[in-house]
Amino acid sequence: MTALPRTTALDVVLSYHRAWTSGDMDRAMTRVAEDIVCRAPGQDLVGKDAYRAFLAGFAPLLTGLTDVAGVADGDDHVLLFYYPHTSTTSTALAAERFTVQDGAIVENLLVFDRLSFAPPGAP
Amino acid sequence: MTALPRTTALDVVLSYHRAWTSGDMDRAMTRVAEDIVCRAPGQDLVGKDAYRAFLAGFAPLLTGLTDVAGVADGDDHVLLFYYPHTSTTSTALAAERFTVQDGAIVENLLVFDRLSFAPPGAP
């Protein structure tokens, strides 16, 4: 053992994930590239400001979290599955496929079922 | 090299995935356990018959496929991300987290955005 391994894509993503799901948006954003592209259900978010605004709209609704899987796919990609808990549901899965370059997240392919997170009784 | 490796969970899932997405439901179901549980958006499917009926409702709508990721998570789990193409969309992500036991899929945590797959103009 001569040196610590470099920060992996999985390290970057898990750090990001832990930060935003604990409400620390500033720390989460240190792991996100300025030119991030996020493909979310029904909309694409381009750039860090748009991405932060999107995430900041959801984060306050989070009441808990059940992590299911977090796995590297080669050197540059990471796959996450988890159950975000909100007042509406704790059984609606979310999945993300991240691309990491130079230690920052440059792409996030995000999937969740919007209907499952709608408030009860919403049309 | 003395022997071929045993069939892995990834082999099982990719065989299943290729089969149903090419319309071969019979072959796909050879990879599915009788007591499969599938957690899908808005509903849980318990047992192979219910699962087959669910999948058979969607498979005929499939016009193509873009695979994004397929990765083993340990010996028993596999994560898939892909874009199913339908007449409505080819940019709505689907993700699945499979559990494989004794060569068959026993659990599928499935996420997609139901609204993205709704027919255009649907309420």
| Helix (H) or strand (E) run with residue B76 in it | none
pLDDT of residue B5: 66
Structure tokens at B65: 């496929």
Q: Do B71 and A68 touch (CB under 8 A)?
A: no
CB within 8 Å: A93 and B73: no
User: By the 8 A CB rule, do A41 and B115 touch?
Assistant: yes
Chain A interface includes B77 (CB < 8 A): yes
How does residue B119 score in pLDDT terms, banded at 50, 70 and 90?
A: confident
Give me the mean pLDDT over the B89-99 stretch: 97
Select the residue from B37, B79, B82, B100 to test the A interface by mutation, using most A Cβ atoms within 10 A. Answer: B79
- Separation of alpha carbons A7 and A10, rounded Å: 8
Evaluated on CA atoms B43, A111, B82, A78, the torsion sign reads: negative
Residue B109 CA to residue B106 CA, distance in Å, equals: 10
Q: Taking CB atoms and an 8 Å limit, are A93 and B111 in contact across chains? A: yes
CB contact under 8 A, A68 and B97: yes
pLDDT at site B4: 63
Residue to mutate among B81, B91, B108, with most A CBs inside 10 A, is B81
**The pLDDT of residue B123:** 55
Question: What is the 3 state secondary structure string of chain A?
Answer: CCCCCCCCHHHHHHHHHHHHHCCCHHHHHCCEEEEEEEEECCEEEECHHHHHHHHHHHHHHCCEEEEEEEEEECCCEEEEEEEEECCCCCCCCEEEEEEEECCEEEEEEEEECHHHHCCCCCC
**B47 three-state secondary structure:** coil
Give per-residue pLDDT as tens, A50-104.
999 999 999 999 999 999 999 999 999 999 999 999 999 999 999 999 999 999 9
* pLDDT tens per residue across span B2-22: 666 678 999 999 999 999 999
Of all residues in chain B, the one with the smallest CA distance to A81 is B97
